[in-house]
Amino acid sequence: MKKNTATIHDISKALGIDSSTVSRALSNSALVTAKTKDKILKKAIELGYQKNTLASKLRTRKTNTIGVIVPRISRHFFASVISGIEDAAYDSGYDVIICQSLDNLEREKQLIQTMHSNRVDGILVSVSMETNTSDHFNEYKKDGFPIVFFDRPFMLKENINVIIDDYKASFEATEHMIEIGCKKIVHLRGPKTSELYNRRELGYKNALKNNGLDIDDNYILESRLMKEDGLELANKIARLGNIDGVFAANDTVAISTMQYLKEKGCNIPRDMAFVGFSNEPISAVIEPSLTTVGQADVEMGKVASLLLFELIKNTTDKINNQVTILEPNLIIRNSTSKFSKK
């Protein structure tokens, strides 16, 4: 049933005009008379001609397409970054291919290989949580394949990164909790393999130190920051006793943990203040609404894209090893309204 779409050769034959002229006419080249252009365009429409982009890409060695790999497209932060990327790409005439690694290293490898094999002009990556080596990227990078990393800082010394200032964000979030009167603040961090969470922890620790509070490693709880981790974390927090604040490295685990603590009879924010990270939409709607860190998402997508486009255009790699740091902003909501209501 599938008919073959018309090609420039069909138009060429139908009109007795060489296919090279047809090609030039369709790309509106100045080398073709307006009159012949007209004939060709009419026939193209008549035959339902649709350019075979594959052939074009093969010949020109340019796909005008960039690839994006994120852990999960459904996460609001990534969806927003993607909006920023799509906007920038649209303005520059690039197509965008979106894929999710589901935080799985094997899948990430597979995706890069597929994208490279499809000869995208470059890729934007927020690495998976399991990614702790850059071998699978270097393989392509050494041939000059343009890659820009965003969100999750990755091998800062060797790559181009666009990130937010996680340290500063954590510092300010923690300091905010201290200001409203928290004395014993637990930090829920992510896997040690991720530099990101190391930075967030450092911000937390330094804020404590700067404000004369003790750092207790028992107050730092590690998990994969998934919804499912909430119960265990809530139990651990309850067992610690006297905790009056929780600073989580993402909203998902903050909300989940908060729910379980509420079920245990803990009143938030009166007994315990809560701060998350990422500004998931759900954070604004839950009870109490969650104080969290906004991550300049759309902007991050735009900035990362522009860097990638530069990299694609450039034949040298002079813009390598560049880290662009965007400003986070603390969004204060009811989960830290503890004393301000007094």
β-strands 292-294, 329-331: how paired? antiparallel
Do residues 80 and 301 lie in contact, with contact meaning Cβ atoms separated by under 8 Å?
Answer: yes
Q: Among residues 190 and 288, whose Cβ is nearest to a second copy?
A: 288
Three-state secondary structure call for residue 189:
strand
Contact between 64 and DNA per CB under 7 A: no
Instruction: Please name the residue that has the structure tokens 């890729």.
Output: 123
- Answer with the entry of DNA, a second copy, none that 17 interacts with (C-beta below 5 to 8 A by kind): DNA
- Indicate which single residue of 1, 2, 3, 16 sits in contact with DNA (rule: CB under 7 A): 16
- Per CB under 8 A, which of residues 38..67 are in contact with a second copy? 48, 50-55, 57-58, 63
- Indicate which single residue of 20, 114, 133, 210 sits in contact with a second copy (rule: CB under 8 A): 114
Contact between 132 and DNA per CB under 7 A: no
274-293: burial string, b at 16+ Cβ within 10 Å, e else: bbbbbbbeebeebebbbbbb
Do residues 169 and 199 lie in contact, with contact meaning Cβ atoms separated by under 8 Å?
Answer: no
- Per CB under 8 A, which of residues 314..333 are in contact with a second copy? 314-317
- Answer with the entry of DNA, a second copy, none that 35 interacts with (C-beta below 5 to 8 A by kind): DNA
- Indicate which single residue of 14, 26, 105, 326 sits in contact with DNA (rule: CB under 7 A): 26
Q: Among residues 76 and 184, whose Cβ is nearest to a second copy?
A: 76
Stretch that binds a second copy, among 11-19, 124-132, 141-149, 172-180 (CB under 8 A): 141-149
72 phi/psi in degrees, rounded to 5? -145, 125
Contact between 226 and a second copy per CB under 8 A: no
Contact between 322 and DNA per CB under 7 A: no
Burial category of 316 from C-beta neighbours within 10 Å (exposed 0-12, middle 13-18, buried 19 and up): exposed
- DSSP secondary structure, 240-290, as one string: H-S--EEEESSHHHHHHHHHHHHHTT--TTTT-EEE-SS--THHHHSSSPP
Contact between 52 and DNA per CB under 7 A: yes
* CA separation for the pair 308, 92 (Å, rounded): 11
Stretch that binds DNA, among 16-24, 80-88, 272-280, 334-342 (CB under 7 A): 16-24
- Answer with the entry of a second copy, DNA, none that 160 interacts with (C-beta below 5 to 8 A by kind): none
* CA separation for the pair 254, 257 (Å, rounded): 5
Site size toward DNA (CB under 7 A) is 29
For 35, residues 6+ apart whose C-beta sits below 8 A from its C-beta are: none
Residues that bind a second copy (CB under 8 A): 1-3, 5, 48, 50-55, 57-58, 63, 72-76, 79, 82, 95-99, 113-114, 116-119, 139, 143-145, 255, 259, 281-282, 285-287, 314-317
Residues that bind DNA (CB under 7 A): 4, 7-9, 16-21, 23-24, 26-27, 30-33, 35-36, 49, 51-52, 55-56, 58-61
